Chain A
Amino acid sequence: MLEARLLEEKLAALYRSGKIVGGVFLGRGQEALSVALGVHLRRGDIYAPLIRDQAGRFAFGDTILDTLRTYLGSSLGSMRGRDGNIHRGRPSEGYHAMISHLGAMVSTVCGGLVAKRFRGEKGAVGATCIGEGGTSTGSFHEGMNMAAVENLPLIVVVANNQYSYSTPNDRQFACSDLLSKATGYGVAGHRAIGNNLIDCLAVIGEAVAAARRGEGTQLVVADLLRLVGHGEHDDASYIPEAMKKSPLGRDCLELARQSLIEQKWLSDDEAGSWHEAVEKEVEETASKVLREPAPDPSEEDWNAFASPSLGRNP
């Protein structure tokens, strides 16, 4: 969580100083929910994070280095400047690279799980995340229904952050509770308190465990508030002050820190040194990546095909 928060603060600063070649989309306020999924996944699982999942990505094994390389467009990053920011992954390692079209990754993860079933691999799960706005798409619906029909070990975490970009929930859906969708699809439903790390860990932990036990598809819905704009270009002025000051608007990172200190699992000094260490790593990595080469158009093969015979003039 801390790594995600501090890295994203650096990304925002780099964006403001014009160093980022594309957009910046942050997960501030959603780190607890995101990381709670990432830490319950393991090698051999499939993970398709969405735009506010920097914390989950780190927990799944992504690095500060590759994140910075992708945002800054370094040719050494996993996307080689061909795609950027949150559209990042290593599909062959079970870490899917999202497309912008919401809901599309649900069925893609289903496909990975079907492949594992064909191969007789047991115990692996797949997981993806989406916002409440994404649940309005046809893709989400088709993917959820398909996962349920195939009884796949898929966990879908819905971060209900109240606004889809600027659109409030009363213009997004008319059901009183998004969790009722679980009943409609015939899958298990779980509710988590989105800015409470301990609760997110427990609820998502149980959802992942149930999927691993063979209990089929699991839908987790968590209410929270995104504490930034949709992207760094957006000041989120459409979110009312009263909502920001409500329990929904409490910062999950600060709550987690307080909770750890109250439980005496963490001291103020330790929290401070964690902060310092991560900040140092982020700064050092950013300095290094800023000196790395951008992709060179003259060295690109400009070939969208994988088959060697389809190289030129297809």
Chain B
Amino acid sequence: MSSITYLEAIRLAQLRALKEDPRVFIYGQDIGVFGGAFKATKNLAKEFPGRVLDAPISEDAMVGLAIGAAVEGMRPIVEMQFADFSTCGFNQIVNQAATLHYRTGTPCPIVVRLPSGGTPGSGPFHSQSMEAIYAHYPGLVVMTPATVEDAYTMLLEAVELEDPVIFCEHKFLYYHLKAESLPATVGEALPFGKARIARPGRDATIVAYSAMVHEALAAAEELIQDGYDIEVVDLRTVRPIDTDTILASVARTGRLLVVGEAWPWGGVAAEVIARVATEGFGLLDAPPQRLNAKETPVPYHPALWGTHRPTASSVANSLRQLLEL
């Protein structure tokens, strides 16, 4: 079987959802005949006439439309062209979608796909990682798949869920990450909300998600030559967050480094550290550490961008410091 990219997995998940569930439709800018800015909906409009619809440049109304359709029993998937533009639909996501079930008892099963994270040359407005902002709001599920298999199965799970899902798919992984095949059954390997031990180890735990899982894995490989065996936990979803798996890992290793591509202030890494500090303080042999993007907008030039985000090499440096504490 030819290899399947992370992007193709997302396209195939949508194809399967459209095929298997008549309630599903996709709404977003340039996603119809054109197939989307990244081609995540290539050929879907042709295959499912009337169910893959071009939207006006109206992120607020795109999400509003999805909410209203979900209330009437549909399962809409909204594609934001870039995660960054979801700020224009922020109000509908956090004030309407996230509150609807709590307020009225009516579920709001929508999926908002956010092509997230940095790629070289993308600059401040096509590179952002928005997961922490959405995870802050009770009522929203936030998924951050790091593998081709997860991109596929988690998107199908997102469509099935009764709650609004912010699906953060990483643009850096779109073309580079490949798998030989896709799982036929959803949720078989790991149930929804469960973190994955991406690499077992004994000397320190790295908790990461999305593209940073791969930087963490590369750093762990690098540390082998220093004689260390590093465990890497892939969160998969940042809300709900699998505190049990994190604590179990820290119990094994005694040391914690959390890596996130987003900014540190009030972010997912901060949340993980807060949970471990409050619920697992006694498990720690050293102060928990975090490594995030630098505290500026995401820079345009690849030389700046490559230093702005955590990389395998900066993760390895942070690990060495953690192991000496």
Contacts and interface: CB of A to CB of B under 8 A. Distances in A.
Contacts of A143: 60-61, 64
A305 B240 CA distance: 10
Interface stretch (B66-74, B143-151, B175-183, B291-299): B66-74
B190 to A, nearest CB: 13
A118 B25 contact: yes
A90 B106 CA distance: 8
10 contacts: A46-B68, A92-B104, A110-B61, A114-B65, A119-B72, A142-B56, A143-B64, A305-B163, A306-B162, A310-B240
Nearest to B59: A142
Given A89-B104, A116-B72, A139-B60, A304 B95 contact: no
A314 B193 CA distance: 9
A106 B64 CA distance: 8
How big is chain A's contact interface, by range? 35 or more
Contacts of B60: 104, 107, 138-139, 142-143
B102 A82 contact: yes
Interface in A68-111: 78-79, 82-83, 87, 89-92, 96-97, 99-101, 104-111
A105 B161 CA distance: 24
A119 to B, nearest CB: 8
A89 B241 CA distance: 32
B32 interface: no
Interface in B43-97: 50-51, 55-56, 58, 60-74, 76, 91-92, 95-96
Chain A interface secondary structure, helix, strand, loop or mixed? helix
B38 to A, nearest CB: 23
Nearest to B193: A309
B91 A104 contact: yes
A111 B104 contact: no
A147 to B, nearest CB: 9
Contacts of A149: 56
A99 B67 CA distance: 13
A304 B246 CA distance: 24
A176 interface: no
Contact of A114 (B68, B102, B162, B243): B68
Contacts of A46: 68, 72
A255 interface: no
A89 B64 CA distance: 17
B98 interface: yes
Contact of A305 (B51, B101, B103): B101
Contacts of A91: 71, 100, 104, 106
A78 B106 CA distance: 11
Contacts of A79: 103-104
A307 B157 CA distance: 12
B99 A99 contact: yes
Contacts of B163: 305-307, 310
